[in-house]
A and B are shown apart, each in its own frame.
Chain A
């Protein structure tokens, strides 16, 4: 490749040299347009696929029908909305304090060597495929809950598994948020003679608030979208649970369970649950944006 450099360039090369930036800009514009178009196409596809059943039975049917029994033409999604909502709230409620506190420990209390190992372990936890969590839940967690209160596959099992799965998300985001706090704040606190706990509660957490909130929203998104693990441990009975030991079915599990064999209106109704999930995620994304702007 050690060709002597000549002054005369080919016309194509010289054209490139002159329009370097323009080429790059258009390339980037094109790629950005593709990325944007994909999500729009998905949305249009979901709407198109769910339209037949929405036109036939209307939106109301999905909230007022007797039960979820698509073969017998009843499409009540409410128990599954409860299922998704309760697993989500439960796991976010458990994982948020755990994640934030562990990040505080890692950042301010742990010796350097332990902090590094700890961070690697959390990253590892984030990388485990969800089906592995589900499998572990099915063979270890569910039999344990079963001894406590049958049948074992339950809302509680779902919350426990999801907590484990979203814990790394909030822990890593919180860790990153703490790392962004200006060093002067901490030095100032030290100079003022604030105690360690005072610094954390009154300086660190308020400063990192927006980062923490975004972490919470990210973990919520993951909790809503999780399918395989939840499908394996939740029991998937379509019902509004009375206790945390009752089996439930989430919207995502519903799609995964029935899509392969669904036809006609049944298939269309599953797309409606997909659409509903996408709506929830869009709301979350908007919330993230608002928080970002506010702070």
Chain B
């Protein structure tokens, strides 16, 4: 009897807790609420920045939703969000309508296992390797061994950037391995001396410094380092932008300034992106 009573007590208590957890919404939330929508590449980074921003400003509630860069732009022009997120620069005809504020740079580098004798590949050679025209390392000055082509899964932003730079179509790529995230790519290439892949430069550099047997190849004659991504000379890179239609003011301005500040550089690096140098930043006026 007693036991059952306690069981019932426990059940009702836990139900009570559940109800209590559903806090009523703060009635003043309107003035302290922001909505961001857009690119799924930018969203995880912004999500981290939002966490820190909310911790510093407890009254603020920020909602981050993904849906692609195009949704970010569409929403911001229709006033459905406060800030849009896009993982590219604005096109010239868009610049009249929108204002963009870069919060980070994304660069991807081509990686080989460190014992592979091949030191550099031209853009055309990379294209030929990925489309299967070159399938042995001998053809580009390496050992006589078949090339293992490592490609990214459909929908990944690194894949889009790679395809765009090399002007490829995903259906024409002859891949041997398809991977999901950067770490899987790094493990796959580091474990196979005849593999070629591409990953975020931030992630590759960090692992190389931890003695993972990898090397980053230059692209278009430019070394693949966070420094070249940061100064904008590395071709296989793009900015991650926050976009608004009007000149930001109030909370919107505060958040953009926070997202561009040095306070969040560690978050940017943790997501394998490269912080934008302060001399290159466009500040919200």
Name A's B-contacting residues (CB within 8 A). Answer: 13, 16-17, 20, 23-24, 27, 67, 69-72, 135, 138-139, 142-143, 146, 150-153, 231-232, 235-238, 247, 249, 256-258, 260-263, 266
Contacts and interface: CB of A to CB of B under 8 A. Distances in A.
B171 to A, nearest CB: 5
A150 B146 contact: yes
Interface residues of B, number: 31
B215 interface: no
A235 B156 contact: no
Nearest to A71: B154
B195 A249 contact: no
Contacts of A69: 154, 170-171
Given A67-B171, A236-B179, 8 more contacts: A24-B4, A69-B171, A146-B192, A150-B148, A152-B192, A261-B155, A262-B155, A266-B154
A70 B187 contact: no
B44 to A, nearest CB: 9
Given A139-B187, A237-B178, A151 B148 contact: yes
6 nearest CB pairs, A to B:
A261-B155, A236-B178, A257-B153, A151-B148, A151-B176, A235-B177
B140 interface: no
Contacts of B4: 16, 20, 23-24
Given A71-B155, A236-B153, A258-B153, A151 B180 contact: no
A80 to B, nearest CB: 12
Given A151-B148, A236-B153, A262-B155, A257 B192 contact: no
B272 interface: no
B40 interface: yes
A247 B177 contact: yes
A287 B96 CA distance: 64
A138 B187 contact: yes
A16 B12 CA distance: 15
Given A69-B171, A261-B157, A231 B187 contact: no
30 contacts: A20-B1, A23-B4, A69-B154, A71-B155, A71-B170, A138-B184, A138-B187, A138-B188, A142-B188, A143-B192, A146-B148, A150-B176, A150-B192, A151-B192, A153-B176, A235-B176, A235-B177, A237-B175, A237-B177, A247-B177, A247-B178, A256-B180, A257-B180, A258-B154, A261-B40, A261-B154, A261-B156, A263-B67, A263-B68, A263-B155
Contacts of A16: 1, 4-5
Nearest to A141: B191
Given A138-B188, A150-B145, A151-B148, A235 B178 contact: yes
A149 to B, nearest CB: 10
Interface string B121-146: 00000000000000000000000011
A250 to B, nearest CB: 12
Contacts of B11: 27
A261 B176 CA distance: 22
Interface in B160-182: 170-171, 175-180
A8 to B, nearest CB: 15
Given A24-B4, A142-B191, A232-B184, A153 B177 contact: yes
A287 to B, nearest CB: 33
A232 B191 CA distance: 12
A236 B191 contact: no
A13 B1 CA distance: 9
Nearest to A144: B191
Interface in B1-33: 1, 4-5, 8, 11
A257 B177 CA distance: 13
Nearest to B156: A261
Contact of A70 (B146, B154, B191): B154
Contacts of A262: 155
A27 B155 CA distance: 46
A72 B184 CA distance: 26
A229 to B, nearest CB: 12
A17 B155 contact: no
Contacts of A258: 153-155
Contacts of B67: 263
Nearest to B152: A257
B176 A237 contact: yes
Contacts of B170: 69, 71
Contacts of A237: 175-178
B171 A260 contact: no
A238 B171 CA distance: 11
Contacts of A232: 184, 187
B176 A247 contact: yes
B148 A139 contact: no
Contacts of B177: 151, 153, 235-237, 247
Contacts of A231: 180, 184
B50 to A, nearest CB: 18
A146 B148 CA distance: 10
A143 B213 CA distance: 14
B240 to A, nearest CB: 15
Nearest to A249: B178
A295 B4 CA distance: 38
A77 to B, nearest CB: 14
Nearest to B180: A257
Contacts of B5: 13, 16
